[in-house]
Amino acid sequence: MKRFLYFFVLAVILLPSNGIVFAQEQDIISFGVQYQPQIFSGNGIQVEWERRSLSATPSLILSAACSDGVSIRDMFGLTCTYASDAHSAGINVSKRTKQSGVVENTTSAPLKITFILTAGSEQSQEVITVLPAGYEEIIPSGAFVKTASDSAVYYVNEDKTLSVIPHESVYFSYGYKDFSQVKVATLSGFLKTTPVAFPEGSLFRGTQQSIGEKDASAVFVVEEGKLRPIVSSEVYQSIYSDPQWSRVAWIPDDLLSKFNYPIGENWTSSSAPPVGTILQDAETYYRVEKENGVYIKKKLSNTKEELTNNKIPIAQALQLSVFGTNLSDGSELKNFLVTPTPATISDTQHTPIDSVNNGTLTIIAPKTDDIFGVGLRETVRWQFANLKEPAVNIKLTNSENEEFSLGSVSVLESETKEQEATFVIDVALGTYSLSVCNGAMCDVQENITVTSKSDALSADLNIKDVTGIQENYLQDEEINVYFTLDFNDQIKDYAPFWETNVYAQFNSSGTVINKTFGTYNVDTGRWEIQIHAPATSSGQMDLEIVGFCTGSPTHCEDAGTAAEARNSTRVEIISTDLVFVSPVSNAQWARGANHTVEWTGGRGDTSLIYLESVTYPGSRMLLSEGNAFNGGHGWDILSDAPIGVYEILVELRKEGSFLESHRSDPFSIIGTGAVGIFPVKGDQLKHGQGYSITWPYWFIGDSQTTVTIRLNRDGTEYSSLVSKIGNSGLYEWTVPFSVTTGPSYSINISPENSTKGIIYTSEFDILP
């Protein structure tokens, strides 16, 4: 998909001079929010300018001075002028306000294009850097930059605008210790937006004055975009225990006066710190958050070193013990970062100079690249103010400069200052410019395509305002898509019984999967489709939404045989096949060590993790429950864990119900000392002799658990030895003479009031 780059140049008439002047100040030349001074080769670019005066002007010429290796195409005849060319080539854009095309860079290095607007002896220009395809951006988002000649430091926002760092305290409030992060760069052409704000939880005060009619010594805390005055020094000290007030940044008054944060309620609480505060419990750190009006704490899951690297101010952490009893736990924050964001400030805004008569005339509809249909009624809509003539004249002009009048409309005398008129289109197929004029004052909309009735009606069937689509889905995941199907009212005029329907489908390299039709919600006026992600396919594919004509073929043909709208979104389908990452086959995990049971894939919402013994068949222990369906579990293997071969069993559940289970490859628990369970395989127990049956009590419960001990033979119960005894891990047993001698005996220890686990010893022999 092409990304378009925009820049806007405001052309201004300064009376009584008849010339057009392009001022170089920021208040005259401004850039749209989509403007980027850098663009990748092969992407679309759109040059836009706005005329604040609509009276007669000299010819306006657009040209492009290019570095060798850069070219322009599909730009209405505009081509590059190179240093070796004898003269500068350009196109007349006097009747236009924008021009689009595609730029190419055939080299491996960034190159420049300078777009130049020339009116008489005056010029205005903007420089664009064209990056080779796949080239790493020169100035990435998230960087701190400055020019070689200026001390001002800027932050590069995600949209490639620049936010100045208004004071060093703002910079340091994001955890930086020095200015080593700041890089020198050329910043010409970047759009500057509002300065960087303080992060949540910041504390500051003015120098000689304050804001919100507060005392100059008032301390404010930034919380949820508001400034909350801390009501007293006692409240401040009860929270921060900071007799030197070292946490508070002193801000210059001229900067403080520009902050336009809304003033929030006074901070009066001593029992909970503000949002953004870091809390510490030994080596564990938390961040105070606010959800549904309630203060909570969220664990920062990274290590102390990682938090420091992420600029989290753990050195200023407050002790959790002071506030912990008042704050419930929220979800963990993984790899948490505090990213600089632009502030809302009040500042002087420059206003471009309008023509002396202050008359304005602006076309609202149609837009550039809109379509008119021959024989159809099309609407032209415009806004106006202070028009001198009693009527506006509307016309189409083709590429040969032939003019076709659509009509004349009297200017309304109303406060609305917006007007529209409908015309039947009767011109040849082709591309036109649309002009709306009041005397010499005109506004022009370029690239209006006049096409056949059927194609025009088809083009006016659009899928809009799509919601509910994400970047990726699990296999067989339920997806709810909502959208509006918008079509031209003229369709109803030409086909009274013309109706629409919609469906969604996945398209994987031409293979259609799960085609599902939608329903229309009368209450919301939107279409709804509930579709499932492919159950057996994975990888990238297109989620397509299609709106189309229904009813009799005749009715659809009347409205246009191609009356169909499509919307396509590239999504990733993630396989739910559960694959163990750890343990790997034949791994050896030592007693007393920490290991992680980990897997990818899976489905449902929760999982149970069991340890099952191969050495002691039938023995199993619940390691963990309530886990996410995908991920894993950290496990501290106890020092008396039974030595032997094991497998991990993961049970996946959804809303409490079992879905499926998956078993890992065998691995071993190794160590020295006692095996952990008696009897062991091959032991020989004799009639009349006493033995100590042992087991790790934690394997099946705790000290409050009671157990039943049974003697089994060949996998079935032979006799019950004892019931409802404490889970001590030890039972003294004398082999009765009544027990038949022979092999294939084992001991089973089963809990009576716990579901954690069960133990079977290895098989042993009983001798006379």
CATH of the domain at 724: 2.60.40
Instruction: Tell whether the model's pLDDT for residue 157 goes beyond 70.
Output: yes
Residue 67 lies in a domain: yes
Q: What dihedral angle (degrees, nearest 10) is formed by the CA atoms of 34, 35, 41, 47?
A: 100
Expressed as residue numbers, the domain containing 475 is 456-574
Residue 338 lies in a domain: no
Do 418 and 526 lie in a common domain?
no
Residue 244 lies in a domain: no
pTM for the predicted model, two decimal places? 0.38
pLDDT at position 416: 56
Do 469 and 561 lie in a common domain?
yes
**Type of residue numbered 603:** R
Do 460 and 444 lie in a common domain?
no
Report the CATH number that the domain containing residue 418 is assigned in CATH.
2.60.40.1930
Calculate mean pLDDT across residues 433-445: 84
Do 16 and 119 lie in a common domain?
yes
Residue pLDDT, tens place only, 85-128: 876 678 887 777 777 788 999 998 888 888 888 877 777 777 78
pLDDT at position 25: 27
Q: Quick one: CA dihedral 175, 179, 183, 184, positive or negative?
A: positive
pLDDT at position 748: 95
Calculate mean pLDDT across residues 21-32: 28
Residue 547 lies in a domain: yes
Q: How far is the C-alpha of 693 from the C-alpha of 764, rounded, in Å?
A: 12
Calculate mean pLDDT across residues 50-72: 72
Cα–Cα distance list, 245 to 77, 122, 173, 241, 485 (Å): 66, 57, 15, 9, 60
Report the CATH number that the domain containing residue 84 is assigned in CATH.
2.60.40.2410
Q: How far is the C-alpha of 221 from the C-alpha of 199, rounded, in Å?
A: 10
Residue 262 lies in a domain: no
Do 400 and 471 lie in a common domain?
no
Residue pLDDT, tens place only, 693-739: 999 999 998 888 999 999 999 989 999 999 999 999 999 999 999 99
pLDDT at position 414: 61
**Type of residue numbered 352:** P
Q: pLDDT class for 600, splitting at 50, 70, 90?
A: confident
Do 509 and 565 lie in a common domain?
yes
Mean pLDDT across the chain: 80
Do 661 and 693 lie in a common domain?
no
Report the CATH number that the domain containing residue 488 is assigned in CATH.
2.60.40.10
Residue pLDDT, tens place only, 486-515: 765 555 444 444 567 899 999 998 899 999
Q: How far is the C-alpha of 179 from the C-alpha of 143, rounded, in Å?
A: 12
pLDDT at position 379: 84
**Type of residue numbered 290:** K
Residue pLDDT, tens place only, 616-630: 999 999 998 877 777
Q: How far is the C-alpha of 246 from the C-alpha of 629, rounded, in Å?
A: 46
The domain boundary, picked from 612, 639, 670, lies at 670
Q: How many CB atoms lie within 10 A of CB 393?
A: 16
User: Among the listed ranges 132-146, 153-167, 316-330, 480-494, which one has the minimum average pLDDT value?
Assistant: 480-494
**β-bridge pairing 203-205 and 249-250:** parallel
pLDDT at position 549: 72
> What DSSP line would sit under 610-675, residue for residue?
EEEETTTTT-EEEEEEEEESSEEEEEE--TTPPPEEEEEEEEEEETTEEEEEEEPPPEEEE-SS--
Residue pLDDT, tens place only, 276-304: 899 998 889 999 998 888 888 899 988 88
The domain boundary, picked from 412, 433, 451, lies at 451
Nearest to 539, CA basis, from 576, 581, 574: 574
Distance of CA 98 to the CA centre of its chain: 31
**β-bridge pairing 742-751 and 764-767:** antiparallel
Report how many domains make up the chain.
5
Residue 598 lies in a domain: yes
Q: How far is the C-alpha of 610 from the C-alpha of 623, rounded, in Å?
A: 5
Residue pLDDT, tens place only, 654-696: 888 898 899 999 999 999 888 889 998 899 999 999 999 999 9
Nearest to 466, CA basis, from 528, 530, 532: 528
Q: pLDDT class for 603, splitting at 50, 70, 90?
A: confident
Do 77 and 114 lie in a common domain?
yes
pLDDT at position 480: 95
* Highest-scoring range by mean pLDDT, 56-60, 165-169, 218-222: 218-222
The domain boundary, picked from 429, 451, 473, lies at 451
Residue 558 lies in a domain: yes
Do 589 and 570 lie in a common domain?
no
Cα–Cα distance list, 666 to 615, 634, 649 (Å): 10, 18, 11
SS3 label, residue 326: helix
Do 121 and 35 lie in a common domain?
yes
Do 705 and 664 lie in a common domain?
no
Q: Tell me which residue has tokens 């022009």.
A: 444
Q: pLDDT class for 33, splitting at 50, 70, 90?
A: very low
> What DSSP line would sit under 177-232, residue for residue?
SSSTTEEE---TTPPEESPBPPPTT-EEE-SS--STT--TT--EEEETTEEEEB--
Residue 74 lies in a domain: yes
Determine what percent of the chain is predicted with pLDDT higher than 70.
82
SS3 label, residue 564: strand
Residue pLDDT, tens place only, 527-584: 999 999 999 898 999 999 998 876 554 445 544 444 678 889 999 998 888 889 999 9
pLDDT at position 457: 59
Do 19 and 59 lie in a common domain?
yes
**Type of residue numbered 467:** T
